[in-house]
Amino acid sequence: MTATEPSRPVEITCTACEAYGLSLCGLTKALSPSSANHIQIQQTSRTVPARRIICREQDLHDAVPIICSGWAASVVMLSDASRQILSFLLPGDLVSTALLFEPRSHCLVEAITDVVYRTFKRSDLKATLFTHPEIFDKLSKAWIEEKDRADQLIVDLGRRTADERIARLMLNLAERLSQRGMTRTTETSAIEMEFPLRQHHIADATGLTPVHVSKVLSEFRRGGLIKISDRSLIILDPAGFRRVAHMR
């Protein structure tokens, strides 16, 4: 909530995330071929420092936020101060497709790293849905993906061990980052990426305690599966790590 450009009409194209060609920001791709086709839509860009809250449960949002850069998380707070992370938001992600239809969110979104995001006005975005089938398709795809991930998480939390949950979380993030071109593969076929999560984020996302996360990660390290240092993650043995993640 630091810098706030004055709201002004711009192309829906969001150069910051265009490269990812994904999710809502990817809709820019759907439109750009025929340049005459660009939509004028009210849009605001904001920058939020790490750890700050992007929006709260109570906020009535007229705005639909999209992450342009940085990592964020949607989290539900319980009354005893325990937390459950519903999903991590990466560049190009719509915070929640439900916001397209309802100005209410039952969880809060917080920045993990410094985050740049843009908001579209719901009514504008909703209107373009009807006039631009490509956007409609992009958004329904985003919606399906969001739900698929939620369902996967339900299965993970309901039926998998701590090791599996943590490995799967990391592999899922690696996959999503790689779709965005945000991973590198070394000559030893290890996968390398920026990884700003603290262990408590991993704990909040997997339904575990930070203490146990620490133990499991040490175990993974000892097994030569991963290497974490300096806010970056290397999956040294992707095949072995996937084996851990599946198991059963």
Partner DNA sequence: CGCTCACTTGAACCTGATCAAATAAGGTGG
Partner DNA sequence: CCACCTTATTTGATCAGGTTCAAGTGAGCG
| 58 touches a second copy by CB under 8 A | no
| 154 touches a second copy by CB under 8 A | yes
Tokens of 79: 């009354």
| 113 touches DNA by CB under 7 A | no
Binding footprint of DNA, residue count (CB under 7 A): 17
Tell me the closest approach of the beta carbon of residue 111 to DNA, in angstroms: 13
Rounded to whole angstroms, the Cα distance separating 52 from 71 reads 12
End-to-end C-alpha distance for the chain, whole angstroms:
45
| 217 touches DNA by CB under 7 A | yes
Tokens of 110: 């917080």
Query: Residue 8, by phi and psi: left (phi above 0), alpha (psi -120 to 50) or beta?
Result: beta
Q: With b meaning 16 or more CB within 10 Å and e meaning fewer, what string describes 74-94? A: bbeeeeeeebbbbbbbbbbbb
Tell me the closest approach of the beta carbon of residue 56 to a second copy, in angstroms: 16
Residues 138-197 that bind DNA (CB under 7 A): 161-163
| 210 touches a second copy by CB under 8 A | no
Tell me the closest approach of the beta carbon of residue 38 to DNA, in angstroms: 40
> Residue 53 binds what, of DNA, a second copy, none (CB under 5 to 8 Å, by partner type)?
none
Query: Residue 39, by phi and psi: left (phi above 0), alpha (psi -120 to 50) or beta?
Result: beta
| 84 touches DNA by CB under 7 A | no
| 207 touches DNA by CB under 7 A | yes
> Residue 194 binds what, of DNA, a second copy, none (CB under 5 to 8 Å, by partner type)?
none
> For residues 50 and 100, which CB has a smaller minimum distance to a second copy in the complex?
100
Rounded to whole angstroms, the Cα distance separating 210 from 189 reads 29
Q: Using CB under 7 A, list all residues that contact DNA.
A: 161-163, 198-200, 207-212, 214-215, 217-218, 230
